[in-house]
Chain A
Amino acid sequence: MIDLKTLTIEKAHKAMKDGDFSAVDLAQAYIDNIEKKDKDVHAYLEIYSDVLEQAKEADQRFKNGSATLLTGIPVAVKDNILIKGRIASSASKILENYHAVYSATVIEKLKKEGVVFLGRTNMDEFAMGGSTENSAFGVTKNPHDPSRVAGGSSGGSAVSVAMDGALVSLGSDTGGSIRQPASFCGIVGLKPTYGAVSRYGLMAMGSSLDQIGPFGKTVADVETVFDIIKGNDAKDGTTISPSTYESTRIGKKKPILGVPWHFLSGDGIDKDVLKNFKESLEKLKNLGYEIQDIELPNISYSLPVYYVIMSAEVSSNMSRFDGVKYGLHVDGRDGIDDYFETRGAGFGKEVRRRILLGTYVLSSGYYDAYYNRANALRRVITEDFTHAFEKVDIIVTLTTPAPAFKIGEKTADPVSMYLEDIFTVTANLTGMPAISIPSGYSEIGGKKLPLGIQMTARHGDEKTLFEAGKDFLGE
């Protein structure tokens, strides 16, 4: 029996190299565990039929000496990232039977290392949501309490790792879609710097916000995957190179931490969560970190600004689904009516809502008041962060205002669902990297619900996040 619970990339690699178990054994162990557990949580939309063949190829690489650290590592992939020849549906009816015609750059990179792709994971349709309740194919449940949500939109990817149904996984994060489910499920999730990871082959949601990032049980695993998938890509014009941002780290021995206390004392914040946050800071202090109180004067505008920009970008990105080139087609009276029928039948409720909202904020007469103003405020917020980073190296906040909520609790009120993203959207607006790290539990109704803290760093400075994250978790 392979102990999946404590398995890391490094341990798995060593075991496969030493011949303790093979890549096939490892893949089989994960498949067995998925068969046992997935029916209760629904993390996966599909388990690939060729998993063991992939694992056999990985074993070959161990035999012929071409294995790397990621060879044979079982990976789950969010359903909005393309793998050539396989279905990628974004958990939407409109792409239910769509087979990807090319592979995403991140997939090509992982393939080169010889990872084993286990399957594709459930998500909010087109990554729009914070609970994976907006999937057209059923909700993903939290493994710590199946009456609660896993978070979202990358809920399936988070649960796949949390239930030991994959060693690591890939998600995408437009406003918190990696960090929030990581926090709800008690694992590590990274939203890299905007442009650090190529989005070629990721279905676009908010193009100025989207990033692909990894989930793992440890910071080291997340770092290992990030180091492989990052890098400049001619196929994504927004990608950066290591020299795009220069390092301006202040803390010599340990990074200096800043906490925007003025933003963390609102009414909506759970008491247990705040208590846990204070304990986490105490722990960091005891580890030798200097912690300062910082001001981010305009941070309270982040969420409304985000919802204007994101919905505007959604409304234009979703226009490609027309029932002509690929995906669902529903016949109407004439050519233009085909669009209405196809898009009406193919898009779920939240997607329709966001498209209409985006159409509204971009329409003439409202463009200046909403879209233009939101973009200008986005710049102000980014400048606040840049200013704060003149004094500190990491900004620490909560990841979410409360632990995982009950399934159905927030579906009737979109604004209450949107408020889930209050601490996470800033990193997407500023483009800065942010990581959620498990920080303990809150006990509710006899169930231990995971909590997380979020660390944000300067553009291009994921390294500092990994350093502090490992320190915090004692890795």
Chain B
Amino acid sequence: MITIKEVEKLAELARIKIDDSEKQSLSKEIDSILSYIDQIKEATVDIDYTPIAGPVHNIFREDIVSDTSKEDRERILNEAPDREGDFIAVKKIIAQN
């Protein structure tokens, strides 16, 4: 059973504001999803926990600086909710005292 408190904890970890009525419905819905998902605990097959690498391998490249055009940089910066010159502006992170 997922409690309201646990939903609050998850929302805090996920950085999402959730109002009280939704906390209620989320605890019920997540509960019903988890009880469905819990089937995987019943599987009796031999389980090998080594991760599968697959046929795809890491791709390496030289660490070379590739310049972005001025227009592309402008496009990217213009998508930011707040900018100052060539920087993305954010609120002050370190509080005073």
Q: What is A's interface to B at a CB cutoff of 8 Å? A: 85, 98-99, 101-102, 195, 234, 237-240, 244-245, 297-298, 300-301, 304-305, 307-308, 315, 319, 322-329, 334-336, 338-341, 343-345, 347, 349, 352-353, 355-357, 359-361, 363, 369-370, 372-377, 379-380, 382, 413-415, 418, 431, 459
B11-64 at interface with A (beta carbon < 8 Å): 11, 13-18, 22, 26, 29-30, 32-34, 36-41, 43, 45, 47-49, 51-52, 54-56, 58-59, 61
CB contacts (< 8 Å) of B75 on chain A: these are: 85, 99, 101
A341 vs B43: C-alpha distance in the bound complex, in angstroms?
A: 41
CB contacts (< 8 Å) of B40 on chain A: these are: 301, 304-305, 308, 370, 373-374, 377
Distance between B43 CB and nearest chain A CB, rounded to angstroms = 6
A101 vs B79: C-alpha distance in the bound complex, in angstroms?
A: 8
Counted as pairs of residues, one from A and one from B, with CB atoms less than 8 Å apart, the total is 149
Distance between A86 CB and nearest chain B CB, rounded to angstroms = 12
Known: A240-B55, A373-B40. A234 touches B47 (CB 8 A): no
Distance between B27 CB and nearest chain A CB, rounded to angstroms = 10
Q: Which of B13, B16, B51, B56 contacts A352 (CB 8 A)?
A: B16
Residue contact B45 to A298, C-beta cutoff 8 Å: yes
The reply on B85 being an interface residue by CB < 8 A is: no
Residue contact A234 to B59, C-beta cutoff 8 Å: yes
Q: What 4 A-B pairs have minimum CB-CB distances, sorted nearest first?
A: A344-B17, A329-B81, A326-B79, A340-B17
A356 vs B28: C-alpha distance in the bound complex, in angstroms?
A: 13
Residue contact B92 to A356, C-beta cutoff 8 Å: no
Residue contact B14 to A355, C-beta cutoff 8 Å: yes
A374 vs B55: C-alpha distance in the bound complex, in angstroms?
A: 21
Known: A325-B88, A370-B37. A377 touches B80 (CB 8 A): no
Residue contact B29 to A304, C-beta cutoff 8 Å: no
A245 vs B88: C-alpha distance in the bound complex, in angstroms?
A: 44
CB contacts (< 8 Å) of B59 on chain A: these are: 234, 237
CB contacts (< 8 Å) of A301 on chain B: these are: 39-40, 43
A244 vs B88: C-alpha distance in the bound complex, in angstroms?
A: 42
A/B interface sample: 15 pairs, CB < 8 A: A101-B79, A297-B45, A298-B43, A324-B81, A326-B80, A335-B90, A340-B15, A345-B17, A356-B16, A356-B30, A357-B30, A363-B10, A380-B47, A414-B32, A415-B32
Residue contact A335 to B93, C-beta cutoff 8 Å: yes
A102 vs B68: C-alpha distance in the bound complex, in angstroms?
A: 11
Residue contact A308 to B37, C-beta cutoff 8 Å: yes
Q: Which of B14, B22, B41, B58 contacts A359 (CB 8 A)?
A: B14
CB contacts (< 8 Å) of B48 on chain A: these are: 376, 379
CB contacts (< 8 Å) of B22 on chain A: these are: 349, 352
A345 vs B22: C-alpha distance in the bound complex, in angstroms?
A: 13
Q: What is B's interface to A at a CB cutoff of 8 Å? A: 2, 6-7, 10-11, 13-18, 22, 26, 29-30, 32-34, 36-41, 43, 45, 47-49, 51-52, 54-56, 58-59, 61, 72, 75-76, 78-82, 88, 90-93, 95
Q: Apart from A319-B14, A369-B41, what are 17 other A-B pairs with CB-CB below 8 Å?
A: A101-B79, A238-B56, A239-B56, A240-B55, A245-B55, A301-B39, A327-B81, A340-B15, A341-B17, A343-B15, A344-B16, A353-B30, A355-B16, A359-B13, A359-B14, A375-B49, A414-B32
A359 vs B18: C-alpha distance in the bound complex, in angstroms?
A: 15
Distance between A84 CB and nearest chain B CB, rounded to angstroms = 8
Known: A335-B90, A338-B91. A323 touches B33 (CB 8 A): no
A275 vs B40: C-alpha distance in the bound complex, in angstroms?
A: 31
Which partner residue on chain A sits nearest B73 by CB separation? A101
A238 vs B57: C-alpha distance in the bound complex, in angstroms?
A: 8
A472 vs B58: C-alpha distance in the bound complex, in angstroms?
A: 39
Residue contact B10 to A359, C-beta cutoff 8 Å: yes
CB contacts (< 8 Å) of A372 on chain B: these are: 49
Distance between B59 CB and nearest chain A CB, rounded to angstroms = 5
CB contacts (< 8 Å) of B52 on chain A: these are: 379, 382
CB contacts (< 8 Å) of A356 on chain B: these are: 7, 10-11, 14, 16, 26, 30
A245 vs B54: C-alpha distance in the bound complex, in angstroms?
A: 11
Q: Which of A244, A308, A329 contacts B55 (CB 8 A)?
A: A244
Residue contact A323 to B11, C-beta cutoff 8 Å: no
Residue contact A307 to B29, C-beta cutoff 8 Å: no
A307 vs B33: C-alpha distance in the bound complex, in angstroms?
A: 9
Known: A304-B39, A323-B81, A356-B7. A339 touches B15 (CB 8 A): yes
Residue contact B91 to A376, C-beta cutoff 8 Å: no
CB contacts (< 8 Å) of A298 on chain B: these are: 43, 45
CB contacts (< 8 Å) of A240 on chain B: these are: 55-56
**Most chain-B CB neighbours within 10 Å: which of A240, A244, A340?**
A340
A415 vs B52: C-alpha distance in the bound complex, in angstroms?
A: 29
CB contacts (< 8 Å) of A341 on chain B: these are: 17
CB contacts (< 8 Å) of A459 on chain B: these are: 55
CB contacts (< 8 Å) of B37 on chain A: these are: 304, 307-308, 361, 370
Distance between A425 CB and nearest chain B CB, rounded to angstroms = 13
Which partner residue on chain A sits nearest B30 by CB separation? A357
Residue contact A335 to B11, C-beta cutoff 8 Å: no
A300 vs B39: C-alpha distance in the bound complex, in angstroms?
A: 9
